[in-house]
């Protein structure tokens, strides 16, 4: 019985072997392949696709390649006096080369206060820089290095034709990570922001990531032209998608003045004023629409030369001393002036040597006075 059972199982195994090898295609690799691939935890394309970029990606790459070498890292050292003595404070930012001879545009808050200024190029070579001029009203500065060779540059574009939604790219050194590229769009135009130093108007708003260290760097359009200078962010810690750039048109105006006059001037009027309007103005027998009441005319100033008049006496109004009897400035170049900000906006469009027409209320009637603005000394 045991012999027959053994013979039976031997016949079954032999028949199974003949069926498998004869009736199907025997593929040892097919049996073992699942075993060989058991360790692979990812999938990948049959052929590499890294060389095939989208049109937008290729545009980003091309712009970065063309602008990276002209974007520089700026370090400034300011000596600050405290109770414990004088100590150095180090600041960093970005700039970009606009001429082969080494002229560089950046923010005034990056370069304007630095007693020691150094520029690091993309090849890691470091040069001392000097300030050629600055425009604190627009937070702009022009500096220069002597590299002893022609440097790559970035061309300046047209910020007057920007539209909300168009693509922009920012290159800079955020948190000292040199040569960082971020992309975004123009989120809005003609923004006004308050900084610690002044109010900046007509700013470009963008969602391209701008962080500390990006200040002074280029904001580029899809053609690789500079349309703005990255200047400020909303929030103290870092980018939250709201950054601001100074339109390049402001820098062009500064550069044109430097090229034609060899310097960058700020206008000087030489007045101290206080705004008055409404009931206070009527109490002082001035127009209710108000204006700027002159409190002091600086000696030797354009205002003194033009004959503008200061107060003749002082009164106490709500516990404050107020000089009265002087001229009330109501307009400048035909535009109403009701507060110090409106006069500042008017002066921001002027340069030293420009003419200014002021309308003043004097002795119960209005009259126009034309004067030539002076030049304020530049102090770092």
| Nearest-angstrom CA–CA distance, 284 and 276 | 9
Contact 119, 96 (CB under 8 A): no
The pLDDT of 81-90, averaged and rounded, is 53
CATH topology of domain 266-376: Pdz3 Domain (2.30.42)
Other CB atoms closer than 10 Å to residue 174's CB: what's the count? 23
139 is catalytic: yes
Catalytic option among 215, 239, 265, 301: 215
Residue 359 has pLDDT above 80, yes or no: yes
pLDDT of residue 44: 67
354 is catalytic: no
SS3 of the chain: helix, strand, coil, percent, to 5: 25, 40, 35
Percentage of the chain exceeding pLDDT 70: 80
pLDDT of residue 83: 47
Catalytic option among 139, 207, 221, 327: 139
At residue 246, the 3 state secondary structure works out as strand
At residue 162, the 3 state secondary structure works out as coil
Query: What pLDDT digit, counting tens, does each position of 7-61 carry?
Result: 566 665 666 655 555 554 555 555 445 545 556 677 766 655 556 888 988 999 9
Split at pLDDT 50, 70, 90, the class of 6 is: low
| Nearest-angstrom CA–CA distance, 188 and 241 | 12
Other CB atoms closer than 10 Å to residue 367's CB: what's the count? 11
CATH topology of domain 159-261: Thrombin, subunit H (2.40.10)
Structure tokens at 198: 């002044």
CATH architecture of residue range(s) 69-145 = Beta Barrel (2.40)
351 is catalytic: no
Burial class, 213, CB count within 10 angstroms (exposed 0-12 / middle 13-18 / buried 19+): buried
pTM: 0.69
CA neighbor of 350 nearest in space, from 248, 262, 266: 266
Query: What pLDDT digit, counting tens, does each position of 226-272 carry?
Result: 999 999 887 666 667 788 999 998 898 888 888 887 877 778 899 99
Note whether 159-261 and 266-376 share their fold.
no
Catalytic option among 76, 109, 187, 239: 109
Return the domain boundaries, the chain: 69-145, 159-261, 266-376
């Amino acid at each position: 019985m045991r012999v027959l059972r053994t013979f039976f199982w031997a016949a079954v195994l032999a028949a199974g072997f003949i069926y498998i090898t004869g009736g199907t295609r025997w593929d040892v690799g097919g049996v073992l392949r699942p075993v060989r691939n058991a360790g692979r935890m990812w999938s990948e394309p049959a052929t590499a696709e890294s060389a095939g970029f989208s049109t937008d990606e290729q545009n980003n790459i091309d712009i970065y390649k063309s602008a990276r070498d002209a974007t520089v890292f700026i370090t400034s050292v300011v000596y600050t006096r405290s109770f414990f003595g004088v100590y150095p404070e180090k600041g960093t930012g970005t700039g970009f080369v606009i001429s082969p001879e080494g002229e560089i545009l950046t923010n005034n808050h990056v370069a304007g206060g630095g007693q020691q200024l150094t520029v690091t190029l993309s090849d890691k070579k470091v040069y001392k820089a000097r300030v050629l001029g600055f425009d604190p009203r627009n937070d702009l500065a022009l500096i220069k290095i002597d590299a002893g060779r022609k440097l790559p540059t970035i061309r300046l574009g047209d910020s007057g034709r920007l539209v909300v939604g168009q693509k922009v790219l920012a290159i800079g050194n955020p948190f000292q990570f040199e040569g960082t590229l971020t992309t975004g769009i123009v989120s809005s135009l003609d923004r006004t922001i308050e900084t610690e130093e002044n109010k900046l108007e007509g700013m470009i708003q963008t969602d391209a990531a701008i962080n500390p260290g990006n200040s002074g760097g280029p904001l580029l359009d899809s053609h690789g032209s500079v349309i703005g200078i990255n200047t400020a962010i909303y929030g103290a810690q870092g980018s939250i998608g709201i950054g601001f750039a100074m339109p390049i048109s402001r820098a062009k105006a500064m550069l044109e003045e430097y090229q034609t006059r060899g310097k960058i001037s700020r206008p000087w009027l030489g007045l101290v004023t206080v705004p008055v309007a409404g009931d206070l103005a009527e109490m002082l027998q001035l127009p209710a629409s108000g204006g700027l009441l002159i409190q002091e005319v600086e000696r030797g100033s354009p205002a003194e030369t033009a004959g503008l008049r200061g107060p003749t006496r002082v009164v106490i109004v709500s516990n404050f001393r107020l000089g009265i009897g002087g001229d009330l400035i109501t307009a400048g170049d035909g535009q109403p002036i009701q507060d110090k900000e409106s006069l500042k906006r008017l002066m921001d469009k002027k340069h030293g040597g420009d003419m200014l027409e002021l309308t003043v209320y004097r002795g119960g009637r209005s009259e126009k006075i034309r004067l030539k603005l002076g030049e304020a000394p530049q102090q770092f």
